Every structure is written in structure tokens, then in C-alpha cells.
């Protein structure tokens, strides 16, 4: 079985909660436990933040939630300016920075996270979580 839900949102902070609510709803329907639903919600929020921070406010970005047998696959695609994935480091408690935490959080909470980003052509984040 493979079913998907697609939404397109303006690249503006005030709409991110729609993506998070959708994530919670889909994860709940698929039978994830409460703790995992919170994790998925945060990972989706971070992916949306990333899309917004790297694209202009006149643009939109797309989310796709795919229910594929026992896993939830989430794709977040923007057409912003992209960024260099290699520059992202794990946070260091001695020297905490405001930036770079989002990707780290996504990678920590999801089972898999793939990021395709090219400067100038936007970013695609694909992440997945298996229902235990």
C-alpha cells in the first residue's frame, strides 16, 4: 500500500504549524506512539524552517507525506537558494551556535534523512520513520 498527502505552503513562518499538525495527524493515523509522533512533528518543523530560511517569502515549498507499508516517508522540497550540506556540524556544548541545530535534530530523531541541496536550485529533504 502506498498513499500520499501533498501540501504546498507559502515560505512564511506563520504557516509552519499547518505542516506540523499534518505530520501529527498522519503519524497518529499510522499508529506511531506519542513520543515518536512528537519526534516526527519536530523533524517536520525543522525541515520547514530550513525551507523558509533558504527561500524567499514570495515562494512556496512542498511537503509530501507518504504512507508506504510500515514506514512514513516525508519529503520537503523548496526552490530556494540551497546550501552546502558539508558545512553542517554536530552541536558542541562548549560553543553552541544558533544555527545548524535544525539538521542535527532531524537526523537524530528520524531513522533516515537524506538531503539533496545545490546552491541556486533549492533543497530536497527526504526522511523516514518505521512504525515499530
The residue ranges that bind another protein (CB under 8 A) are: 13-14, 16-17, 20, 35, 38, 41-42, 45-46, 48-49, 52, 91-93, 96-99, 101-102, 104-105, 108-109
Of 52, 56, 53, 72, nearest to 64 by C-alpha is 72
Q: Which is nearer to another protein, 3 or 14 (CB)?
A: 14
Enter the C-alpha cell of residue 103. 539538521
CB atoms within 10 A of CB 6: 10
Nearest approach, Cβ of 1 to another protein (angstroms)? 29
Q: Which is nearer to another protein, 38 or 64 (CB)?
A: 38
Grid cell 519526534 is found at 39
Q: Which is nearer to another protein, 13 or 56 (CB)?
A: 13
Nearest approach, Cβ of 97 to another protein (angstroms)? 7
Nearest approach, Cβ of 96 to another protein (angstroms)? 5
Q: Which is nearer to another protein, 43 or 126 (CB)?
A: 43
Amino acid at each position: 500500500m502506498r498513499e500520499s498527502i501533498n501540501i504546498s505552503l507559502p515560505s512564511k513562518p506563520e504557516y509552519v504549524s499547518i505542516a506540523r499538525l499534518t505530520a501529527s495527524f498522519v503519524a497518529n493515523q499510522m499508529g506511531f506512539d506519542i513520543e515518536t509522533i512528537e519526534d516526527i512533528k519536530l523533524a517536520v518543523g525543522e525541515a520547514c524552517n530550513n525551507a523558509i530560511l533558504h527561500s524567499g517569502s514570495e515562494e512556496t515549498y512542498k511537503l509530501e507525506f507518504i504512507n508506504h507499508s510500515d514506514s512514513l516517508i516525508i519529503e520537503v522540497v523548496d526552490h530556494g537558494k540551497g546550501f552546502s550540506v558539508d558545512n553542517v556540524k554536530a552541536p558542541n556544548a562548549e560553543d553552541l551556535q544558533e544555527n545548524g541545530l535544525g539538521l542535527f535534530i532531524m537526523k537524530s530523531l528520524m531513522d533516515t534523512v537524506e538531503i539533496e541541496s545545490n546552491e541556486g536550485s533549492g533543497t530536497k529533504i527526504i526522511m523516514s520513520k518505521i512504525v515499530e
